[in-house]
Amino acid sequence: MDLKSGYPFWSVKNGLMYAFPRLEADLRCDVAVIGGGITGALIADELARHGHDVAVFEQRDIGWGSTSASTALLQYEIDTHLLDLVLRYGEDDAVRAYRACAEAIPMLRAVAADLRDVAFAPRESLYYASRRWHRGTLQDECRLRDRHGFEVEWLDRAALRERYAIDAYGAILSALAAVVDPYRMASRLFHRLARGGTPVHDRTRIETIEAGPRRVRLTTAGGQTVTAGHAIVAAGYASQHWLDQDVASNRSSYAMITDPIDDQRLGMLRDTLVWESARPYLYLRTTSDDRLLAGGEDDAVDVPARRDARVERKAAKLVDKVEKLFPRLGIEPAFSWAGTFAETRDGLPFFGPHPQHGPRLHFAMAYGGNGITYSMIGAGLLRALIERRKHPLAALFSFGRLER
Ligand SMILES: Cc1cc2nc3c(=O)[nH]c(=O)nc-3n(C[C@H](O)[C@H](O)[C@H](O)COP(=O)(O)OP(=O)(O)OC[C@H]3O[C@@H](n4cnc5c(N)ncnc54)[C@H](O)[C@@H]3O)c2cc1C
């Protein structure tokens, strides 16, 4: 599956960071991870650091799936409001999900600190009301988050204009957020794993999966067999290929990045992620070299050629929207691209086994606008399942919630 168009900024900036060998012989391991994106990287790292014998298989080069297309805003606030999650799953589960996302950000910071140069940086996050009639909902959302201990502040129209030069109907300002270079983080994690003795094989496509009661057997396109105690499908949006049940829908998102902008002109954008209550939403961040990265204009196009044909038009729309929000910024896109992402109906991810395959084949579907935050949660959750320990989100993030 072609997951991105053109060349996303991260792959242009970093190039092919490391080469890993193809799998050339049969292999045995405790846990086989299928997919060499940020999800596979965080999961393999978590398992290997805790003594599991892991092996990783990626069909192309490491990190060239949607990880390289990602704009990598790291937020605890997911696409579904806490208010809506409470209505669906009750206050306990909804708050537990939001808290886990909040805890994932310092966990990602710790992983980044260990790896050093992966451009992780803390940010604030500003979520503004795009329409007058969104204001009440956002104020209720802000109160609810505040009541549950999230560090938030409500900004009315005047405060928003004065502090952020944004003309909108109010906003939730969250203290907790961050950004990262996701391609670099995934590449560095796999490189460290390989140096530590974990087999990491790229250009190794898993063709078939047979999950039995005692082990999982994988075969590669090259004809090798991998026998593992457990396998984890961290194949991004291709993971759905292994399930008969329809659990998510694929969408395309579009992004553009400018040349570096003078930091005086960037102003508050240097330290603040910006996104909005309209759907699909516009989202903005800056990079460590002071470029402005904007994404949005999501649509339901799932055919790479049609998606690619739209990139320039979508990038022009993103520029219009940014200029409307910040009329004095004057931006020119340096690169633009598109990527596929998947969305679940409730905005939550799926981690764990599916009844179709039994308990030894796990899925890591970190779907939604906060995929990277979810991947960090999923790493701990899947380790708990493999070690037969309880995890507070195992039920909510399982396929079982589709029956609720
Ligand atoms: C434009 C865009 C903007 C985004 N913005 C954000 C954001 O701001 N914040 C955020 O948190 N998330 C964001 N996301 C989502 C985020 O990028 C994803 O959640 C994340 O990259 C998914 O990582 P992954 O490892 O699960 O998938 P991928 O990076 O796609 O990796 C899966 C890998 O599996 C491999 N694979 C598939 N099938 C096989 C097979 N049979 N055998 C071997 N290998 C296989 C693929 O080649 C691929 O490399 C965005 C996504 C897009 C497209």
Give a yes or no: residue 105 inside a domain: no
DSSP calls for 142-168: HHHHHHTT--EEEE-HHHHHHHH---S
pLDDT score, position 2: 46
Phi and psi for 43 in degrees, rounded to 5? -70, -50
Ligand 1 centroid from CA 337, angstroms:
14
pLDDT score, position 5: 53
DSSP calls for 203-254: S--EEEEEE-SS-EEEEETTS-EEEEEEEEE--GGGGGGG-SS---EEEEEE
Same domain, 195 and 318: no
Same domain, 280 and 299: yes
Distance, in Å, from the CA atom of 217 to the CA atom of 200, rounded to the nearest integer, reads: 17
Pocket test for ligand 1, best of 372, 376, 382 (most atoms within 8 A of CB): 372
Same domain, 43 and 23: yes
Instruction: Answer with the one of 343, 373, 394 that is the final residue of a domain.
Output: 343
Q: Is the peptide bond before 304 cis (omega within 30 degrees of 0)?
A: no
**Residues with Cβ within 8 Å of residue 341, at least 6 apart in sequence:** 66, 237, 250, 251, 252, 253, 298, 367, 368, 369, 371
pLDDT score, position 3: 45
Residue 211 has pLDDT above 60, yes or no: yes
Give a yes or no: residue 110 inside a domain: no
Same domain, 243 and 362: yes
Same domain, 65 and 187: yes
Same domain, 369 and 384: yes
Give a yes or no: residue 221 inside a domain: yes
pLDDT in tens, 112-164: 999 989 999 999 999 999 999 999 999 999 999 999 999 999 999 999 999 99
The more confident residue out of 385 and 264 is 385
Q: How much of the chain exceeds pLDDT 90, in percent? A: 90
Give a yes or no: residue 264 inside a domain: yes
CA-based angle 289:294:295, to the nearest 5?
135
Same domain, 398 and 356: yes
CB atoms under 10 Å from CB of 233, counted, come to 26
How much is the mean pLDDT over the chain?
95
Same domain, 352 and 388: yes
Same domain, 264 and 337: yes
Give a yes or no: residue 86 inside a domain: no
Give a yes or no: residue 80 inside a domain: no
Instruction: Answer with the one of 300, 326, 343 that is the final residue of a domain.
Output: 343
Mean pLDDT calculated for residue range 236-261: 94
Ligand 1 centroid from CA 137, angstroms:
31
**Nearest CA among 369, 372, 365, 370 for reference residue 349:** 365
377 lines ligand 1 (CB under 6 A): no
pLDDT in tens, 165-200: 999 999 999 999 999 999 999 999 999 999 999 999
Instruction: Answer with the one of 327, 343, 359 that is the final residue of a domain.
Output: 343
Residue 25 has pLDDT above 80, yes or no: yes
Burial class of 154 by CB neighbour count within 10 A (0 to 12, 13 to 18, 19+): middle
- Decide: 181 and 119 in contact? Cβ < 8 Å: yes
Pocket test for ligand 1, best of 5, 34, 66, 284 (most atoms within 8 A of CB): 66
Same domain, 254 and 396: no
In this structure, what token pair is assigned to residue 289?
């070299």
pLDDT score, position 403: 87
Residue 1 has pLDDT above 60, yes or no: no
Mean pLDDT calculated for residue range 240-251: 95
pLDDT in tens, 351-393: 999 999 999 999 999 998 899 999 999 999 999 999 999 999 9
pLDDT score, position 369: 87
Residue 343 has pLDDT above 50, yes or no: yes
Same domain, 211 and 295: no
pLDDT score, position 328: 86
295 lines ligand 1 (CB under 6 A): yes
pLDDT score, position 310: 92
Distance, in Å, from the CA atom of 31 to the CA atom of 385, rounded to the nearest integer, reads: 12
Give a yes or no: residue 304 inside a domain: yes
pLDDT in tens, 277-292: 999 999 999 999 999 9
Same domain, 257 and 339: yes
CATH code of residue 17: 3.50.50.60
Domain count along the chain: 2
**pTM recorded for the entire structure:** 0.97
Give a yes or no: residue 91 inside a domain: no
Domain with 44 in it: 4-69+183-247+347-403
Distance, in Å, from the CA atom of 378 to the CA atom of 375, rounded to the nearest integer, reads: 5
Ligand 1 centroid from CA 89, angstroms:
27
Ligand 1 centroid from CA 397, angstroms:
18
H-assigned helices in 16-118: 38-49, 66-69, 82-89, 91-115
pLDDT in tens, 35-66: 999 999 999 999 999 999 999 999 999 999 99
CB atoms under 10 Å from CB of 289, counted, come to 10
